[in-house]
Amino acid sequence: QSDCTLVTAVSCHDIFDLQTGQSDSSPLAKGTAFAFIKAVQSVNERLVKLSEKQTLLFEVILLGKDCEEQAKSKIFDSAKYYLEIGKFCFCSKEKFERTLQENHVKLFLSSDRDDVHVPAALLCQQADQQVQNQLKVLFSGDLIGLTEDSTEYLKDLGFNDVQIHNFKAAKGRIQEFAMLIGEMRRRFGCEDSPLHTILMTVWGSRDICATALKTLRAWGLDVDEAFCLAGAPCTPILTVLQPHILWDDGLHN
Amino acid sequence: MSLDPVQVMKGQDPMALSPPPASNGDSKVSWDEKEGFCDSVGPKKPKSGPVRRARKVEGGIFFPKPENAVTIAVSSRVLFRTEKEQKVFEEKGVEEYLKYQVEHENEPFAPGPAFPFIKALESVNTRLRELYPESEELFDIVLVTYNHANVGVRLINTINHHNLFIERFCMTGGSSPIGYLKAWHTNLYLSADAEKVQEALSEGIAAATMFMPEKQIEVSETQLRVAFDGDAVLFSDESERIFKAHGLDKFFEHERENENTLLDHGPLKGFLETLGKLQKKFYAKGHRLDCPIRTYLVTARSAASSGIRALKTLRAWGLETDEALFLAGAPKGPMLEKIRPHIYFDDQMFHVEGAVEMGTIAAHVPYGIAQKYPHKKKSTNSAK
């Protein structure tokens, strides 16, 4: 497992709908993460097409936190039915973070805001399950454009010191992931890329946005799209964008 | 019937065939004065994070909610001059273009055709904030470009250099900006790309393509001046169709017969309406004479005949322009040169080009029948 693999862990609760009752034989219904997995697969396919000895690829691990025994085998079978997942990890809630570390997970995705741990991003519900032949990753300009001098405006908005400290820490975690995404993105041209990156600054000024753009560039990532909202509601924009991954550490609510 | 252009000032009505309805909105402002509702909430709840509110700064609101403001979306190609870069894009492709932009990142762009208009909007905002510091009824300018985000740093550097107050932008990296225009509740979209403008018009968003005048006549820095053509801009293209299909005589006949039938509305009617609402806010505080917004109707219709229907329609809509110029077919260029609008909307490229030649900042509204039958340009200017 090379350092270059972008290991992403997804909760089995997001890949499959574990709530609704299932008959024993049929596979589980698809969940939120499904479109994401499909999009990731098309990125991998394109990367391999460019070079067969490709090492920079996505690897998706399916994580099951506190799953019942019955559910486990069901998940196993369903996963094989639908898609190729590299690995399965079932663990308890307590061992969760260790499991992430042991598997060199660079990014954990969950659709449950309360669930997101380090390093983690939000998995977004896709309105249209079919459309995605492009993996869309959205980064927060407020987090990435954060510098020592620019925390005042966050305080004005009502964030406390602890939260602001957490945001600063988040910036560091995003870096590794962003660098890998940047490298992947560079393999493709401006147009017709299966990977699409977006920067969104919700609260910060245009200078924060410029800092974020330059920071990402220094990390090797040239984003495709950039938005600066200056406090305007982000939901209407997100509805048009439909990102799969949203990394904002709760900054945007 | 006089062939000289007639200037009709608001308040003097040589055409009083029926008493005008009381359209002077001195008393009440039509919009609700919505308070930034989150501001009145007490201590902030610790868990849920920031309460989204219009950011308030000393001296008024600077970041209104899009649905409350008059949102003007402007593309980078009309706000700034980007001809050189366009050329690189067309001749060498997108990768070279982006490289060029990054290399010249610290060189600000020069002002483009929409620049004076945007500056004028900012001065209106300053006056509005002085009179109504709590109000979100302001112009909100959003830079909407389908440029790749790589150009973002250069655009932000340019905005800083020119001291523009633009904090909101969308760089869509090649995707259509139309979805975002709607998300921003856009009231007017200005672009260099006729296709995008047409797409916006078909989605019900007022839009126009802007052109850079060769020579630039000076425009006011304290008063926003917006001039509109009548048919197919404020009004529908109904009468244009008659004219194009059956000629001038039929047109006059049709207008006379339908004098008391209202014209249908055109794509820029809504924008005139929002300007009118803002004007009333100034009147309400005693600033009728020095109102920083002034509107003009500049139409080829003639005052004594076909112009009547236009005026009656505006009245019925509760709208008015400060000045109405009926040119009876005379060229618009000289009139516009006198008015010096920050922007002039016309549906016919012929008029737009004529205006631009004389230094007026003109915008083409690609709406209606005129787009199918472009006017053949006369080699000499003997219109009489």
Contact flag B65-A230 (C-beta cutoff 8 Å) = no
* B176 and B228 part of one domain: no
Residue B313 lies in a domain: yes
* B133 and B254 part of one domain: no
* B121 and B164 part of one domain: yes
| Residue in A190, A226, A232 nearest the CB of B94 | A190
Name which of A25-34, A236-245, B104-113, B249-258 the model is least confident about.
A25-34
| Residue in B49, B153, B175 nearest the CB of A214 | B153
Q: CATH number, domain at B265?
A: 3.40.50.1000
Per the CB < 8 A criterion, the answer to whether B206 and B268 are in contact is yes
Structure tokens at A241: 């964008």
Contact flag A237-B183 (C-beta cutoff 8 Å) = yes
To which residue do tokens 């932000």 refer?
B156
pLDDT tens digits, residue range B160-207? 999 999 999 999 988 889 999 999 999 999 999 999 999 999 999 999
B305 burial type by CB count under 10 A (0-12 exposed, 13-18 middle, 19+ buried): middle
| Residue in B48, B55, B149 nearest the CB of A223 | B149
Q: How far apart are CA A173 and CA A168, in angstroms?
A: 9
Residue B208 has pLDDT above 50, yes or no: yes
* B231 and B201 part of one domain: no
Query: What is residue B104's DSSP assignment?
Result: T
Q: How far, in Å, are A104, A175, A176 from residue A179 at the CA level?
A: 16, 6, 5
Instruction: Supply the pLDDT for residue B50.
Output: 45
Grade residue A251 by pLDDT with cuts at 50, 70 and 90.
low
Q: How far apart are CA A99 and CA B174, in angstroms?
A: 40
Residue B240 lies in a domain: yes
Interface of A with B (CB under 8 A): 157-160, 189-191, 196, 199, 203, 205-207, 209-210, 213-214, 222-233, 236-237, 239-240, 250-253
pLDDT tens digits, residue range B270-299? 999 999 999 999 999 999 999 999 999 999
Higher pLDDT, A134 or A81: A134
User: Residue B134 is part of which domain span?
Assistant: 70-210
Note the Cα A33 to chain centre separation in Å: 10
* B153 and B75 part of one domain: yes
Choose from B41, B47, B52, B182 for mutation: most chain A CBs within 10 A. B52
Instruction: Supply the pLDDT for residue B302.
Output: 85
Residue B253 lies in a domain: yes
B103 burial type by CB count under 10 A (0-12 exposed, 13-18 middle, 19+ buried): exposed
Contact flag B168-A230 (C-beta cutoff 8 Å) = yes
* B204 and B228 part of one domain: no
Residue B41 lies in a domain: no
Domain architecture of chain A: domains with CATH: 6-121 (3.40.50), 135-247 (3.40.50)
Note the Cα B325 to chain centre separation in Å: 18
Name which of A1-5, B103-107, B151-155, B275-279 the model is least confident about.
A1-5
Instruction: Assess whether the previous peptide bond of A27 is cis (omega < 30° from 0).
Output: no
State pTM to two decimals. Answer: 0.84
pLDDT tens digits, residue range A48-76? 888 877 788 888 888 877 777 777 777 77
Residue B286 lies in a domain: yes
* Residue A228 identity: C
Cα of A146 to nearest chain B Cα, Å: 16
Residue B59 lies in a domain: no
pLDDT tens digits, residue range A70-116? 777 777 777 776 676 767 888 877 777 788 778 888 788 877 766 65
To which residue do tokens 């090797």 refer?
A220
Q: CATH number, domain at B125?
A: 3.40.50
Residues 70-109 of B with CB under 8 A from A: 94-95, 98
DSSP string, B337-381: HHH--SEEEES-HHHHHHHHHTT--EEE---SGGGTSPPPPPSS-
* Contact residues, chain A, for B55 at CB < 8 Å: 230-231
**B175 contact A CB<8A:** yes
* Residue A245 identity: I
Domain final position from B210, B240, B259: B210
Q: How far, in Å, are A74, B270, B276, B315, B320 from residue B273 at the CA level?
A: 62, 5, 5, 12, 9
Cα of B275 to nearest chain A Cα, Å: 22
Grade residue A137 by pLDDT with cuts at 50, 70 and 90.
very high
Q: Per residue in B184-194, is it b (16+ CB within 10 Å) or e — as a string?
A: bbbbbbbbbee
* Residue B167 identity: E
Q: Where are the alpha helices (DSSP H) in chain A?
A: 12-15, 34-50, 69-82, 96-102, 141-144, 152-157, 161-186, 206-218, 235-241
Domains in chain B: how many in total?
Answer: 2
Contact flag A232-B156 (C-beta cutoff 8 Å) = no
Residue B337 lies in a domain: yes
Four-residue CA torsion sign, A206, A223, B179, A31: negative
Of all residues in chain B, the percent with pLDDT exceeding 90 is 60
| Residue in B46, B48, B156 nearest the CB of A253 | B48
Catalytic residue numbers of B, as ranges: 229
Domain final position from B210, B236, B259: B210
* B231 and B177 part of one domain: no
Mean pLDDT of A14-24: 68
Q: How far apart are CA B93 and CA B323, in angstroms?
A: 47
Instruction: Supply the pLDDT for residue A84.
Output: 64
pLDDT tens digits, residue range B74-86? 999 999 999 999 9
B66: nearest CA in chain A?
A232
Per the CB < 8 A criterion, the answer to whether B191 and B168 are in contact is no
Instruction: Supply the pLDDT for residue A209.
Output: 94
* B357 and B238 part of one domain: yes
Name which of A43-52, A127-136, A187-196, B77-86 the model is least confident about.
A127-136
* B120 and B204 part of one domain: yes
* B80 and B177 part of one domain: yes
* B120 and B170 part of one domain: yes
Contact flag B152-A213 (C-beta cutoff 8 Å) = yes
Structure tokens at B146: 């389908």
